[in-house]
Structures are given as structure tokens and as C-alpha cells.
Amino acid sequence: MSNSIVLFGSPGSGKGTQAKLLKGCLQVPHISTGDMLRERIAEGTELGQRVAAKMHAGGLVLDEVVNGMVASRLAERDAADGFILDGYPRTTPQARFLSYWLDQRGIREVVIHLAVDYNSIIARLTGRRQCPRCGTLYNIVSRPPKREGVCDLDGEKLVIRDDDREEVIRERLSAYDRQTRPVLDYYRTAGRRLLEVDASSDPPEKVFDKICQAIDVHDCAQDAR
């Protein structure tokens, strides 16, 4: 079993949800490049403004920017015993950079590909709502809040993220096809450990069950039920 996991999949495949479940199981940090980029935007720097323009248009941020952020984060002390990468790598150059960085440190990662049908993704993401205060995600169809439009945890009014608008989702999926699907080909031919998990229709707990069986951590799957 490896505690160094790369969660791979298209936008809306459930990487963030599975990363949180795995974090509770493996006790290693969940490292989301999306969260890191949104933090840069919130800081209001020139870099943040450039990142915002890319993300709001559904495009991908430059490789060198994301590579630098990820390398710095993985070098922090809490990632010494493993990590869960969510949303990275998204391009083949990023995948090569990560493989080189890990190989230099003797780290063997497991890549978990969450495969989801695109029509399911569009329906899933356009129904997604988020609490702007605590970040909790809901879905108006599959996981609605107890009170419509309000966070269960802190009563904050839920919002639609800019990158969850349908036109942006379609562009994100188009960018995924152009730039990110080749990453799977890279992992398949580079001798890295790649596991395929069908995440199209099962609830998150069932998908987590499949992941735990694949990486041989059955106790976590039992605890998540």
C-alpha cells in the first residue's frame, strides 16, 4: 500500500470528495491545486489576477506556476509520510515533472483514475453549490442541504462557483480532452502504478469502497460506511 496518491479524473469526477475520505483514512494531507490557486486569487496579487482570468475562462494555468506550487507544498513536513494530490497533474509536462520529483526522493505513487461519463459530469456540476465560509459542497439533486440554499454547518447562503457555470464546465471538459487525457497515456506507458475506478453512477461511499479495495486498505472502507 502507498500513502502517496494521485487522484486523476475529469472536472466533476469526484476527486475532492474522495480525497477528503482518503485523508481521514490515511492521515496524510489532501493537496488540492484548485484550492491553492483560489487562495492566490483571494490574495489579489498580479499572479492571482492572471490565474483568475484563466480559471474563469475554463483554461489551465501555466505548467511552471502549478509545478512550483506543488513542489513547494510536497516539500513541507506534513507530506513526508505521504499525500493525496487532487487536480494535479493536468498536462503531460506536469506529469513528467511530478514523476521526476518523486523519483529523486524515492517515492512511489499510486495514480487512481476516476472514470465518469461527461453527461453525468455536466448534470453533477451544474447542480453543485458551495458554502463560501467553510467550503462544504452540496448538490441540489444528490446531496441537497437540509434547508434550501443554506449551509447545514454554519447557515451561510450557498453560492455557485464561477467555474461551475455550464459554459465554463464545457470548456473545462474540452481542455481536459485536449491536454489532460494524454496524461493517462503517459502513466500507462511510463511504468507508473495506475488504477482505474468507475465513478459514474455509484454514491461517493461506494466509489471509496472500490478505491480502498484497489489499494488494500479495507478497514477505511468499513469505517466510512
Closest by CA to 208, choosing from 35, 8, 14, is 14
Catalytic center residues: 15, 90, 128, 161, 172
Residues in the chain: 225
Closest by CA to 165, choosing from 36, 32, 12, is 12
Cell numbers standing for residue 57:
475562462
Distance CA 74, CA 45 (A): 23
Q: What is the DSSP letter of 157?
A: B
Distance CA 186, CA 57 (A): 27
Q: Where are the beta strands (DSSP E) in 54-171?
A: 83-86, 110-115, 128-130, 137-139
- Under a CB-based contact definition with an 8 Å cutoff, are residues 215 and 195 in contact? yes
Distance CA 95, CA 86 (A): 13
**SS3 state of residue 225:** coil
